[in-house]
Structure 1
Amino acid sequence: MENMKTIKIYKSFKELLGLFSIVAIALGFNSCEQFDLEENPAGSQSQVVTYSSMPQLELGVTGIYGKLNKAAWMSTFYVNGWSGDDITTHVASNKADFREYDQRFVTPENSRTLTNWNGVYEMIRAANTVLQSVEGQTLPDPDPTKQERLVGETYFLRAIMFNHLMRIHGRIPLVLEVDPFQQPSLASQVEVFQQIESDLLEAESRLPVSTNVGSTRPSKGTARAFLARLYMDWAGFPLKDASKYAQAASSAKTVIDNAASHGFGLEPDLAKLWSLAGRFTQEGVFTIAYSNSAGNLTNRKMGKLGLPSDPGLNGWQETFAEIRFFEDMPDGARKDATYYAELPVGDDGAINLNSPTRILRWEEFKDQQNPILRKIVGDLADGDWAQFQTLRSDLYMRYAEVLLIYAEASGEAGTAGADAWEALNMVHRRAEGLPTNTPAPSDLTVGDGSIQDLAFTERKWEFAGEFIRWNDLVRKEKVQEALGNRNPRVSIGTEYDENGVGSPKPLTTAQNPILGSLGTDNYYAPIPQQEIEKNPNLGN
């Protein structure tokens, strides 16, 4: 495979100078250790300066994490998530770019697409700079494993960003070297998959068995878990290489068998994951951490962005739950951890936990009637529901996904045994508020259907509102099925009066109707027009 190289990056000398400033980032170790970074001349992305000391390498890698935070701190990073049937956005306001994804009518001029593209490639270029700057060098340090670990982290970070962008656009340029003048073409999708696989294998070979609680730095288990996710996508649309199901199952099983060594496990209280207390938890296979003391890199996707603009709530009306999805979800602990169907409020309409005067249901919202995603708003007791920023972490991948990958992939590969069913049921039990490791009468069995279908459905409910549902619909070619009869104006289900007499629930006013094709021709977002104008090869 011919290596694709770097995009033409710099539009002006001013832009070039801006790359010399590396953002400070809080990386969560067990003590949530902070790093305040100085400028790093050797970290310039316009040229490669060979590293001669370990601090240069450390600073370069920490700078990549800083760029990850810059790319991920706002909802733009997950813009593709609005395409799923689990979340929606406001019907008006300034949410037009999100609505394009919500309605599957994404234009090449979408500014969120462009911002995400630039943020991801800035991080990829920083990773390339590190890899070339350390190539062929053995840097002196008392810890003989440090250089390998840092290089492994660099390969991992580049891999997950290629993966992130590939899931949005399908074909992307593979930028593998620091070269601001070459203009690459789009790689084929198989080349992209192969490059991500190669980077993850390079990472796995160098990373330690475990890192810290929450895995804000990757371990061997982290890399292997992302390989399992990659193979699941590889087995589905568009490549449909069914042989990858066996590799996905094997990779996930390797992680599960070594979960204790990696520090992975299910968090018993699912709701904790969306609270400040759950910033660093064993469920985090890879966690993006935030800080308000190192460059003010807070998480700006949550809190009031999940509330309507009703008086008292003063929400930023960005991320809401889809009504049909909400009402279809089985009741239980998982649904309670995912949504707020009602809010305790005071006379002023603001959330009030101590002395509420009434309960406000989502159907009563004045601005837009949609259920509230608890995963976005957070634990009300934390108080960050009133803020547009929070210190809550992004669980970019969590252990529940590893378990469900194993169950689904084993079923598709025809190798599902008792351990695969147990992996599925561990997640299912927690959804019902039961101990994860204790068999229960409600456990799923072969009598309930095929394990791959059950695991796919379990994923639907487990990851609702986490911006990854669209990826599942694409790989299984279920977009038409999920969105074809979508009518957000209909509130399905029944409500009962005091005499127990039922009637259909009232209609709501929420509406972001599908405008674009639901066929495979519209599964991927177009390359940003501004990037094509700078590099016409991206239009081919």
Structure 2
Amino acid sequence: MLMKKYIIYFCLVYGLFSCSILEEKNKGLLTPETYYTTPEQLEASVVTVYKQLTTIYERTGRGTCAMFGADDVTTSKVNVDILEYEIFKPTGANTSLTNWWGQSYKGINFANNIIVNSAKVPDSDAKKYALGQAYFGRAWFYFFLVRIHNKIPLITDLTVHSDLTASEPREVYELIISDLKKAEEMLPDAWTDYKAKMGVTSGAAKAALSLVYLNMAGYPLKDESKYALAAEKAKEVIDNANRWGYKLVANYADLWKNVRFNDEIVFGLYYNDKNGDANQSGPLCGSPSEYAGWDYFFAELNFFKAFPAGPRKDATFWTKFPILNSNGTVTIKDWTEIQQKRPYYKKYIECDNFDWNKPWINVGWTSSRTNQVIRFAEVLLIYAEAKAMSGAPDATAYAAINKVRNRAGLANLTAGLSREAFRDSVIAERGWEFAGLEPNASRWFDLVRTEGVEKAAANRDASEIQLAVKPTKSNYFAPIPDSELLLNPKLAE
């Protein structure tokens, strides 16, 4: 009954706040100005923030095509939006770019509605929790945008800004930090209602804050003082993991078996295909055309070849493909024999009724798969890198990375590494652990913050799609959509 109540609230609130103009004839009806009178109404509005978070990550072209400049994924030539980023020549007319920009700012607007209007609502735990979720959501939308675009407009009120200029990234990060600090104080350690699995918690806010600090330590801000803060916040999560129930899943492959919930998820986005709340990121997005897949993404050859053998590699890549012949027999083809001649990412394919022996059956373009945005494995690797870079790779930093390596079937990292060599080992480990467009821990973001884009692009196999330009730092960030510049030319200043 509780879930039903919040669905009703969502329909009402989403309808209210999707509109920018309320006509005068509706003055006597429910409006954003008159809706907020109770903490329950404030809490109900949070559903709109979660909805927008799921929207920006629900499909490869929506929220991840900006990450295709990395060396772990590539695409086919027919996917124009993605191809622009693959060849380092994105345009402001890119439809996916326009989509994630608009959906993100819609989510920011929903969060601002809650934050601004909360002043009219009496204090209570419900109000505090609603605010915590709104602050977390706003911070995450801005974190998503600033890592892709670098300079973006900051909006924290409900005013229509027709002449707003883009803010420098440091200013954006300052708001993100402020919001996440508020969220970690306001959010509960766990939820007892319908959000027992899906709601963000104080642990998620702390983990997100550690990642924000880590990114600030790298390019473009290169504020190395943030390494110590990243290590401190990540350690707080690690040392108190039982408080939130976080732990590594023992078997890496189990992370991807038709996943809904697991103990490794620190921040997850949940979908229910049966209710029309669908995740479009798999399986057809990442399936080969031999199964009527869309060939949106698959592995770059050199990344696949360099990936260390073991159970993690086996669980990450799809390399053997059963092909149904016209006479009813089945032939197993190696990845070198299929159309794209590339391994595919196995970890996103499995969903309800999927059969690896008959992958052409029950394959749809939507699913209820959870997008695991922050995993506990990432918190461990954030700590390892940040601890080393804020001082030296001590025993605790080694212990953190070795937990991830050992789960992957790898031996402990070589002892006695220098600070920089240890950092490079963590970056490589992150690339293998989160390979293939995991929503947040994208290889692309690591290459940008460590200024490694050029080196990675130079290591492409000759058979990969030819680059339009040789990348430099001018190619690190996506443009602001043309549609936004048309409405407000000052954003280009």
The answer to whether residue 456 in structure 2 is matched with residue 471 in structure 1 is no
Aligned match of 1:523: 476
Structure 1 CA distance, aligned partners of 2:392 and 2:198? 33
* 1:187-237 CA distance string (max 9 Å, x none): 011101111101101111101123489952111111111111111110000
**Amino acid in structure 2 at the alignment position of 1:281:** N
The answer to whether residue 466 in structure 2 is matched with residue 480 in structure 1 is no
Q: Is the 8 Å Cα contact of residues 102 and 514 (structure 1) preserved in structure 2?
A: yes
* 1:319-360 CA distance string (max 9 Å, x none): 11111111110110110111011123333599xxxxx73311
The answer to whether residue 305 in structure 2 is matched with residue 327 in structure 1 is yes
Change (3 A) 1:376 1:131: same
Aligned match of 1:151: 131
Give aligned-pair identity as a percent: 34
The answer to whether residue 12 in structure 2 is matched with residue 39 in structure 1 is yes
Aligned match of 2:121: 137
Aligned match of 1:6: none
Tell me the CA shift for residue 77 of structure 1: 1.3
**Amino acid in structure 2 at the alignment position of 1:375:** K
Aligned match of 1:16: none
**Amino acid in structure 1 at the alignment position of 2:229:** Q
The answer to whether residue 241 in structure 2 is matched with residue 254 in structure 1 is no
Q: Secondary structure at the match of 1:301?
A: coil
**Amino acid in structure 1 at the alignment position of 2:158:** V
Query: Across the two proteins, how many residue pairs are aligned to each other?
Result: 466
Change (3 A) 1:399 1:515: same
| Correspondence for 1:285 among 266, 287, 304 | 266
Aligned counterparts, 1:66-145, within 5 A: 66-75=51-60, 76-91=62-77, 93=78, 95-138=79-122, 144-145=124-125
Tell me the CA shift for residue 172 of structure 1: 0.5
The answer to whether residue 417 in structure 2 is matched with residue 451 in structure 1 is no
The answer to whether residue 355 in structure 2 is matched with residue 377 in structure 1 is no
**Amino acid in structure 1 at the alignment position of 2:436:** G
Q: Is the 8 Å Cα contact of residues 40 and 126 (structure 2) preserved in structure 1?
A: no
**Amino acid in structure 1 at the alignment position of 2:174:** Q
**Amino acid in structure 2 at the alignment position of 1:192:** V
| Correspondence for 2:172 among 182, 186, 192 | 192
Structure 2 CA distance, aligned partners of 1:208 and 1:447? 40
Tell me the CA shift for residue 42 of structure 1: 5.8
Q: Is the 8 Å Cα contact of residues 227 and 248 (structure 1) preserved in structure 2?
A: yes
The answer to whether residue 330 in structure 2 is matched with residue 357 in structure 1 is yes
* 1:55-90 CA distance string (max 9 Å, x none): 321221112212222332222111212121101111
* 1:106-149 CA distance string (max 9 Å, x none): 1111111001100111111111111111125215xxxx422111
Structure 1 CA distance, aligned partners of 2:94 and 2:11? 34
Structure 1 CA distance, aligned partners of 2:334 and 2:289? 14
Change (3 A) 1:405 1:26: farther
Q: Is the 8 Å Cα contact of residues 136 and 179 (structure 2) preserved in structure 1?
A: yes
Change (3 A) 1:288 1:532: same
Change (3 A) 1:44 1:89: closer
Larger deviation, residues 415-424 vs 257-266: 415-424
Change (3 A) 1:26 1:288: farther
Change (3 A) 1:117 1:359: same
Change (3 A) 1:43 1:117: closer
Q: Secondary structure at the match of 1:386?
A: coil
Tell me the CA shift for residue 292 of structure 1: 2.2
**Amino acid in structure 2 at the alignment position of 1:68:** L
Q: Is the 8 Å Cα contact of residues 73 and 297 (structure 1) preserved in structure 2?
A: no
* 1:493-531 CA distance string (max 9 Å, x none): xxxxxxxxxxxxxxxxxx322213421111001111110
Aligned match of 2:157: 177
Aligned match of 2:29: none
**Amino acid in structure 2 at the alignment position of 1:130:** I
| Correspondence for 2:44 among 47, 59, 65 | 59
| Correspondence for 1:220 among 190, 194, 202 | 202
Aligned match of 1:424: 401
Structure 2 CA distance, aligned partners of 1:306 and 1:72? 14
Structure 2 CA distance, aligned partners of 1:215 and 1:525? 34
TM-score by length of 1: 0.82
Structure 2 CA distance, aligned partners of 1:344 and 1:375? 17
Structure 1 CA distance, aligned partners of 2:460 and 2:273? 40
**Amino acid in structure 2 at the alignment position of 1:164:** F
Q: Secondary structure at the match of 2:285?
A: helix
Aligned match of 1:534: 487
Structure 2 CA distance, aligned partners of 1:145 and 1:131? 15
Structure 1 CA distance, aligned partners of 2:457 and 2:350? 27
Q: Is the 8 Å Cα contact of residues 132 and 182 (structure 2) preserved in structure 1?
A: yes
| Correspondence for 2:182 among 194, 202, 214 | 202
Structure 1 CA distance, aligned partners of 2:247 and 2:6? 25
Structure 1 CA distance, aligned partners of 2:129 and 2:19? 22
Structure 2 CA distance, aligned partners of 1:87 and 1:233? 21
Higher helix share: 2
Aligned match of 2:25: none
TM-score by length of 2: 0.89
Aligned match of 1:318: 296
Structure 2 CA distance, aligned partners of 1:208 and 1:408? 28
Aligned match of 1:161: 141
Where in structure 2 are there 5+ consecutive unaligned residues? 22-31
Tell me the CA shift for residue 537 of structure 1: 1.2
